[in-house]
Every structure is written in C-alpha cells, then in structure tokens.
Amino acid sequence: MINANTVLKLAVQKSGRLHDDSMKLLKECGIDITNGVNKLKSEASNFPLEVFFLRDDDIPQYIEDAVADIGFVGENVVYEKNKNVQVEHKLGFGKCRLSIAVDKNETYDGVQYLQGKRIATSYPLILNDFLQKNNVTAEIHEISGSVEIAPGIGLAHAICDLVSSGSTLFMNGLKEAETILQSQAVLIRNKDLDEAQQTILDKLLFRIQAVKKAKNNKYILLNAPEEKLGEIIALLPGMKSPTVTPLAEKGWHSVHSVLSEDTFWDIIEKLKNAGAQGILVIPIEKMII
Ligand code: ATP
Ligand code: MG
C-alpha cells in the first residue's frame, strides 16, 4: 500500500544531454509531468512523484542529503562526486566513455606515455584513481569546461574527457588513446528510503524495466508452410513458446514470437532460409515477464 501522502522526489538534469531522455523515459512509464522546464520542480499528475530540475553535478549531493530521494544521472558524475548514494539501475541512455586523448601526431604506446605529463580534465578523482592503479605519476590540471582545447593552447599534454562519437576530439586535432570508464545514465537512490518511498520506487522500477525490455525486443509474425513448421519453431525462442495458428489456406500456419534485438537479424535470416514468408516485425510498447 502506498501511503497517500508520500511522494517520491526524483532529480533530473534541468537542461543538457540527459534531460530529454529522462523526461521521455517517464512518459514511456505512463507518468505525466506537467511542463516544468522553467521551474525548479514539477509534480506528476498520475503517479506519486515530484521532479526536481537540477544541474547534473549537484544531483548526487542532493540525494545523499535526502533533498531528493532518487535521481537520473551519468555514471561518470556518480563516480566523480563519490557521494554516499546507491546505484540502483542502468537506464540505457546517455551512453559515452571517459577517455584520455592526446595530440593526433603523438605516438601513444601505453599508459606509461602519461608519466610526468600534465593532463587537463573535469574528472580529477576518476583520473587520479586510474593513474594510481597503473602506477603512473602525472599532473592533473582540473578545468570545468572546454577541456578539448587544453593541448592546443599549451595548457596540457593530454586530456581526459567524455567522448561519444569522437568528433570533438577530431576537430581539435586529438586522438583517443585510452578509455578509462564506460558510462550511461543510471538511477541512483538515497540509502535510507522509508517503506512507503521504497514501495513507490519499486513501482517505478517495475515500469522502467518493462519499457526497457520492450525496447530490446520485437514482436514477429510470419507464415510457415506445414512441412517447415518444426524447423521454423526450433529457431524461435519466444517468451514461453511461439503461438501457432492455422491460416485459411490449407498447409500454412501463422507463427507469432518475440525476438531480442541482439539476435534479431541472425534469426530473421535463418527463418527466411527455412521457408518463412510474409515476415512482419512490430515494435513492442511494454513487456512484462
Ligand atoms: P549541467 O548544466 O547539468 O551541469 P553539463 O554541461 O555538465 O550539464 P551535459 O553536457 O549536458 O552536462 O552532459 C550530461 C551527461 O550526459 C554527462 O555527464 C554524460 O553522462 C552524458 N553524455 C553522453 N554523451 C556525452 C558526450 N558526448 N559528452 C558529454 N556528456 C555526454
Ligand atoms: Mg554538469
């Protein structure tokens, strides 16, 4: 039972790379947030949730202090801020990596290259950990933004910054030398939620998982000739087993199943080769197992 007065407080990025995907995820979970872009907070109309819009750097601290109960934030920020919060769930968006990059004309032959060098970064804690683990001593120069220009202006020999496509590095004459962290948005939580708050969080996690599962799976329908039915069914995993119904045309069956994104193309090809026809692929909106 949810205590009627309890509302879970969620912190999301006010604007920036994680904002839109965070709001989209809530929407896909069936949670209506009235437009709060210029407000500090906003309440859901159909779920016991209040959303705080904050700078991503501040989210872990707010959660440690229980100003907010949970938050959507990049793993990179969670590890750098090193607050007393718990990572509860990976959200599957905001994917990037924290990498060391050097001038594209340099010969990078391993971490020892960094010995005695100066490295500019907004992630001094994570970088320091990485250097220590690799027994490298380097000077960490902390800057808060535009890290990629540091080598060009003579501020540093190397940088440690977030990369997704690599185009920013390329435009600044840099090349990626070493990946030190793979990151994506995660749901973090305060460690001491009460029972009512935990119940709301469980409900939210249940919905998030259903949305994520649905995105990773596709519903497929196909027609199979009688003599090939066994071979085709054997190729399909399905949630239990595929649904098979006879078609009006004698000797043919309609087969329905669910395929996961990672094996999808491989299985479709095999199905086609096995004699499946009229294959339809349909997105799934929610998936509850
Ligand atoms: P804020 O104003 O909230 O402090 P910000 O400028 O620090 O915003 P953004 O650039 O909006 O942050 O990035 C937010 C998060 O998005 C990053 O911490 C990271 O987890 C994720 N992200 C995904 N791809 C990238 C990328 N290519 N570069 C930077 N961050 C990325
Ligand atoms: Mg920030």
CB distance 76 to 90 below 8 Å: no
Residue nearest to atom 29 of ligand 1 (CA): 162
CA 124 remoteness from chain centre: 23
Cα(226) to centroid(ligand 1), Å? 54
What per-residue confidence (pLDDT) applies to 236? 92
pLDDT tops 60 at residue 223: yes
Please report which ligand is nearest the Cα atom of 15: 1
**Strand ranges inside 113-247, DSSP E:** 118-121, 139-142, 158-163, 174-183, 185-189, 217-225, 243-246
Tell the residue nearest (CA) to atom 30 of ligand 1: 162
Counting ligands in written order, which one lies closest to the CA of residue 18?
1
In the reported structure, the alpha carbon of residue 167 is separated from the centroid of ligand 1 by a whole-number distance in angstroms of 15
Query: Nearest-CA neighbor of 209 among 88, 94, 95?
Result: 88
For 1-25, what is each residue's pLDDT tens digit?
Answer: 556 789 999 999 999 999 999 999 9
User: What topology is assigned to 96-183 in CATH?
Assistant: D-Maltodextrin-Binding Protein; domain 2 (3.40.190)
Q: Is 162 touching ligand 1 by the criterion CB < 6 Å?
A: yes
Give the model's pLDDT for residue 136: 98
Q: What is the mean pLDDT of residues 78-93?
A: 98
Q: Give the number of the ligand closest to the Cα of residue 14.
A: 1
Write the CATH number of the domain with boundaries 8-93+185-214: 3.40.190.10
**Residue 34: per-residue pLDDT:** 83
Mean of the per-residue pLDDT values of the chain: 95
Mutate to test the pocket of ligand 1, among 56, 76, 182 (most ligand atoms within 8 A of CB): 56
Domain limits, CATH 3.40.190.10, in the chain: 8-93+185-214, 96-183
Q: In the predicted model, is pLDDT for residue 48 greater than 70?
A: yes
ipTM metric: 0.97
pLDDT at 99 over 60: yes
Arithmetic mean of pLDDT, 201-226: 96
C-alpha 76 – ligand 2 centre gap (Å): 10
Closest CA to 137 of 154, 117, 158, 120: 117
pLDDT at 238 over 80: no
With bands split at pLDDT 50, 70 and 90, how would you rate the model's confidence at 36?
low
In a 10 Å sphere around its CB, with 0-12 CB exposed, 13-18 middle and 19+ buried, how is residue 114 labelled?
buried
Q: Could you tell me the fold of the domain covering 217-283?
A: Alpha-Beta Plaits (3.30.70)
3 state SS of 114: helix
Q: How confident is the model at residue 200 (pLDDT cuts 50, 70, 90)?
A: very high
Instruction: Take atom 28 of ligand 1 and give the residue whose Cα is closest.
Output: 162
Residue 262 has a pLDDT of 87
Residues of the chain with CATH 3.30.70.120: 217-283
> Do residues 123 and 98 lie in contact, with contact meaning Cβ atoms separated by under 8 Å?
yes
Give the per-residue pLDDT at 192.
Answer: 97
Share of the chain above pLDDT 90, in %: 92
Say whether pLDDT at 257 is over 90: yes
Give the Å distance between the CA of 74 and the centre of ligand 1. Answer: 8
